[in-house]
Amino acid sequence: MIFLTNDRLLTTDIRTMSRMIKKTGIFALLLISCLSGCNSQQTSSNDRVDTTDSAFIPDSEVSGARIYLYDRGQVTTEIVAEKIIKFESIDSMMAYILDIDIFDSTGMVTTHIVGDSGIIRETTGKMSIFSNVVVTTRDDFKLETDYLYWDSETDKVKSDDFVRITQGDDVMTGWGLEADQQLKSYKILRQVSGTVNDPKKLGKP
Protein backbone atom coordinates (compact mmCIF):
# COMPACT_ATOMS: atom_id res chain seq x y z
CA MET A 1 0.00 0.00 0.00
CA ILE A 2 1.18 3.57 -0.70
CA PHE A 3 0.47 6.85 1.07
CA LEU A 4 0.97 9.89 -1.16
CA THR A 5 1.10 13.35 0.37
CA ASN A 6 3.07 16.53 -0.17
CA ASP A 7 4.75 14.91 -3.21
CA ARG A 8 6.36 12.27 -1.00
CA LEU A 9 5.69 8.53 -1.03
CA LEU A 10 5.52 6.49 2.13
CA THR A 11 5.30 2.71 1.64
CA THR A 12 3.75 0.35 4.18
CA ASP A 13 2.90 -3.34 4.24
CA ILE A 14 -0.34 -3.66 2.30
CA ARG A 15 -1.41 -6.75 4.24
CA THR A 16 -1.72 -4.73 7.44
CA MET A 17 -3.93 -2.11 5.82
CA SER A 18 -7.72 -2.29 6.03
CA ARG A 19 -10.39 -0.13 4.67
CA MET A 20 -11.97 2.42 6.78
CA ILE A 21 -13.46 4.47 9.27
CA LYS A 22 -15.74 6.16 11.80
CA LYS A 23 -17.55 9.34 12.68
CA THR A 24 -15.76 11.68 15.09
CA GLY A 25 -18.52 11.63 17.67
CA ILE A 26 -18.80 7.84 17.61
CA PHE A 27 -15.04 7.47 17.96
CA ALA A 28 -14.98 9.90 20.87
CA LEU A 29 -17.70 7.86 22.57
CA LEU A 30 -15.62 4.72 22.06
CA LEU A 31 -12.60 6.39 23.65
CA ILE A 32 -14.63 7.59 26.64
CA SER A 33 -16.00 4.07 27.12
CA CYS A 34 -12.50 2.66 27.01
CA LEU A 35 -11.25 5.15 29.58
CA SER A 36 -14.09 4.53 32.00
CA GLY A 37 -13.72 0.76 31.80
CA CYS A 38 -9.94 0.49 32.16
CA ASN A 39 -7.90 -0.26 35.25
CA SER A 40 -4.40 0.96 36.05
CA GLN A 41 -2.77 -1.73 33.93
CA GLN A 42 -2.99 -2.04 30.16
CA THR A 43 -4.78 -5.19 28.99
CA SER A 44 -4.30 -7.23 25.84
CA SER A 45 -7.54 -5.94 24.31
CA ASN A 46 -7.34 -3.20 21.68
CA ASP A 47 -10.42 -1.57 23.21
CA ARG A 48 -9.08 -1.38 26.78
CA VAL A 49 -6.09 0.76 27.61
CA ASP A 50 -4.40 2.28 30.64
CA THR A 51 -5.63 5.82 31.33
CA THR A 52 -2.06 6.87 32.08
CA ASP A 53 -0.89 5.57 28.70
CA SER A 54 -0.41 7.79 25.63
CA ALA A 55 -2.88 5.72 23.59
CA PHE A 56 -4.96 8.72 22.62
CA ILE A 57 -2.09 10.84 21.43
CA PRO A 58 -1.88 10.43 17.63
CA ASP A 59 1.19 8.60 16.37
CA SER A 60 0.98 10.36 13.02
CA GLU A 61 -1.24 12.74 11.06
CA VAL A 62 -1.32 13.08 7.28
CA SER A 63 -3.18 15.71 5.26
CA GLY A 64 -4.22 15.09 1.66
CA ALA A 65 -3.67 11.33 1.97
CA ARG A 66 -4.04 8.99 -0.99
CA ILE A 67 -4.04 5.27 -0.21
CA TYR A 68 -3.92 2.34 -2.63
CA LEU A 69 -5.01 -1.21 -1.77
CA TYR A 70 -3.57 -4.10 -3.76
CA ASP A 71 -4.38 -7.72 -4.46
CA ARG A 72 -1.61 -9.78 -6.08
CA GLY A 73 0.12 -6.63 -7.25
CA GLN A 74 -2.97 -5.07 -8.80
CA VAL A 75 -4.66 -1.94 -7.48
CA THR A 76 -8.14 -2.79 -6.19
CA THR A 77 -9.02 0.39 -4.31
CA GLU A 78 -8.02 4.04 -4.16
CA ILE A 79 -8.87 5.95 -0.99
CA VAL A 80 -8.55 9.72 -0.83
CA ALA A 81 -8.96 11.52 2.51
CA GLU A 82 -8.49 15.12 3.52
CA LYS A 83 -6.86 13.94 6.74
CA ILE A 84 -5.86 10.67 8.40
CA ILE A 85 -4.88 10.35 12.08
CA LYS A 86 -3.26 7.11 13.24
CA PHE A 87 -3.47 5.60 16.74
CA GLU A 88 -1.24 2.51 16.71
CA SER A 89 -1.89 1.43 20.32
CA ILE A 90 -5.62 0.92 19.67
CA ASP A 91 -5.25 -0.27 16.08
CA SER A 92 -7.24 2.57 14.58
CA MET A 93 -6.98 5.14 11.83
CA MET A 94 -9.41 8.03 11.74
CA ALA A 95 -10.07 9.50 8.30
CA TYR A 96 -12.02 12.58 7.29
CA ILE A 97 -13.83 13.46 4.03
CA LEU A 98 -13.49 10.15 2.19
CA ASP A 99 -13.60 9.54 -1.53
CA ILE A 100 -13.13 5.89 -2.51
CA ASP A 101 -12.93 4.13 -5.89
CA ILE A 102 -13.07 0.32 -6.17
CA PHE A 103 -11.72 -1.24 -9.38
CA ASP A 104 -12.33 -4.50 -11.24
CA SER A 105 -9.61 -6.68 -12.79
CA THR A 106 -9.48 -4.45 -15.89
CA GLY A 107 -8.90 -1.29 -13.88
CA MET A 108 -12.41 0.09 -14.39
CA VAL A 109 -14.22 1.69 -11.46
CA THR A 110 -17.10 -0.52 -10.30
CA THR A 111 -18.05 1.24 -7.07
CA HIS A 112 -17.60 4.78 -5.76
CA ILE A 113 -18.07 5.63 -2.06
CA VAL A 114 -18.03 8.97 -0.26
CA GLY A 115 -18.53 9.76 3.41
CA ASP A 116 -17.71 12.36 6.03
CA SER A 117 -15.48 10.22 8.26
CA GLY A 118 -14.57 6.74 9.34
CA ILE A 119 -12.31 4.34 11.22
CA ILE A 120 -9.94 1.74 9.79
CA ARG A 121 -9.03 -1.29 11.90
CA GLU A 122 -5.70 -2.33 10.43
CA THR A 123 -5.22 -5.85 11.78
CA THR A 124 -8.70 -7.05 10.85
CA GLY A 125 -9.11 -5.22 7.53
CA LYS A 126 -12.48 -3.79 8.54
CA MET A 127 -13.79 -0.27 7.93
CA SER A 128 -16.78 1.79 9.03
CA ILE A 129 -17.87 4.94 7.21
CA PHE A 130 -20.11 7.54 8.83
CA SER A 131 -22.41 10.42 7.89
CA ASN A 132 -23.61 11.32 4.41
CA VAL A 133 -22.49 8.00 2.98
CA VAL A 134 -23.28 7.58 -0.71
CA VAL A 135 -22.39 4.49 -2.75
CA THR A 136 -22.79 4.51 -6.54
CA THR A 137 -22.06 1.59 -8.85
CA ARG A 138 -21.31 1.06 -12.52
CA ASP A 139 -24.82 -0.36 -12.92
CA ASP A 140 -26.35 2.94 -11.73
CA PHE A 141 -27.36 1.70 -8.30
CA LYS A 142 -27.21 4.34 -5.58
CA LEU A 143 -27.15 3.64 -1.84
CA GLU A 144 -27.60 6.42 0.72
CA THR A 145 -27.17 5.93 4.46
CA ASP A 146 -25.44 7.41 7.51
CA TYR A 147 -23.49 4.27 8.35
CA LEU A 148 -21.74 1.65 6.26
CA TYR A 149 -19.58 -1.26 7.42
CA TRP A 150 -17.18 -2.65 4.83
CA ASP A 151 -15.19 -5.88 5.11
CA SER A 152 -12.25 -5.56 2.74
CA GLU A 153 -11.54 -9.29 2.70
CA THR A 154 -15.04 -10.43 1.71
CA ASP A 155 -16.06 -7.30 -0.26
CA LYS A 156 -19.33 -7.23 1.68
CA VAL A 157 -21.10 -4.17 3.06
CA LYS A 158 -23.57 -3.89 5.91
CA SER A 159 -25.58 -1.21 7.69
CA ASP A 160 -27.87 -1.11 10.70
CA ASP A 161 -29.08 2.40 9.83
CA PHE A 162 -31.76 3.70 7.49
CA VAL A 163 -30.93 2.94 3.84
CA ARG A 164 -32.25 4.15 0.51
CA ILE A 165 -31.44 2.34 -2.74
CA THR A 166 -32.38 3.78 -6.12
CA GLN A 167 -31.92 2.84 -9.75
CA GLY A 168 -33.69 5.07 -12.24
CA ASP A 169 -37.26 5.57 -11.03
CA ASP A 170 -37.15 2.56 -8.71
CA VAL A 171 -36.70 3.24 -4.99
CA MET A 172 -36.36 0.90 -2.00
CA THR A 173 -36.01 2.06 1.60
CA GLY A 174 -35.77 0.41 4.98
CA TRP A 175 -33.58 -0.26 8.00
CA GLY A 176 -30.50 -2.47 7.90
CA LEU A 177 -28.66 -3.84 4.89
CA GLU A 178 -26.56 -6.80 3.81
CA ALA A 179 -25.05 -6.60 0.31
CA ASP A 180 -22.06 -7.08 -1.94
CA GLN A 181 -20.10 -3.91 -2.64
CA GLN A 182 -21.58 -3.55 -6.15
CA LEU A 183 -25.17 -3.89 -4.82
CA LYS A 184 -25.87 -6.65 -7.33
CA SER A 185 -27.22 -8.76 -4.49
CA TYR A 186 -28.64 -7.12 -1.38
CA LYS A 187 -31.15 -7.56 1.41
CA ILE A 188 -32.93 -4.78 3.30
CA LEU A 189 -33.59 -6.24 6.73
CA ARG A 190 -36.73 -4.54 8.04
CA GLN A 191 -39.46 -1.94 7.43
CA VAL A 192 -39.00 -2.33 3.68
CA SER A 193 -40.99 -0.05 1.41
CA GLY A 194 -40.71 1.58 -1.99
CA THR A 195 -41.74 1.61 -5.61
CA VAL A 196 -40.27 -0.93 -8.02
CA ASN A 197 -41.24 -0.97 -11.66
CA ASP A 198 -38.96 -3.89 -12.48
CA PRO A 199 -37.87 -5.99 -9.44
CA LYS A 200 -34.99 -7.53 -11.41
CA LYS A 201 -33.33 -4.14 -11.66
CA LEU A 202 -33.00 -3.82 -7.90
CA GLY A 203 -30.97 -6.96 -7.25
CA LYS A 204 -32.34 -9.49 -4.83
CA PRO A 205 -34.03 -7.73 -1.89
Residue 180, domain member (yes or no): yes
* Cα 202 to Cα 67: distance, rounded to the nearest angstrom: 31
Give φ, ψ of 31 to 5 degrees. -65, -40
Q: Is residue 135 part of a domain?
A: yes
Closest CA to 160 of 183, 141, 179: 179
* Least confident window among 9-13, 109-113, 124-128, 135-139: 9-13
Query: What's residue 69's pLDDT?
Result: 81
24 within a domain of the structure (yes/no) = yes
Question: Does residue 76 belong to any structural domain of this protein?
Answer: yes
- Let me know if residue 54 belongs to a domain: no
Cα 136 to Cα 72: distance, rounded to the nearest angstrom = 26
Does residue 187 lie in a domain region? Answer: yes
Q: In this predicted structure, what is the pLDDT of residue 200?
A: 58
The reported pLDDT for the residue numbered 198 is 64
Query: Quick check: is 52 in a domain?
Result: no
Q: What is the CATH number of the domain that holds 121?
A: 2.60.450.10
Question: CB-based contacts of 77: which residues, under 8 Å, 6+ apart?
Answer: 19, 68, 69, 100, 101, 102, 103, 152
pTM above 0.85, yes or no: no
pLDDT above 60: residue 40: no
Containing structural domain, residue 189:
2-36+59-202
Number of domains in the chain: 1
In a domain, 186, yes or no: yes
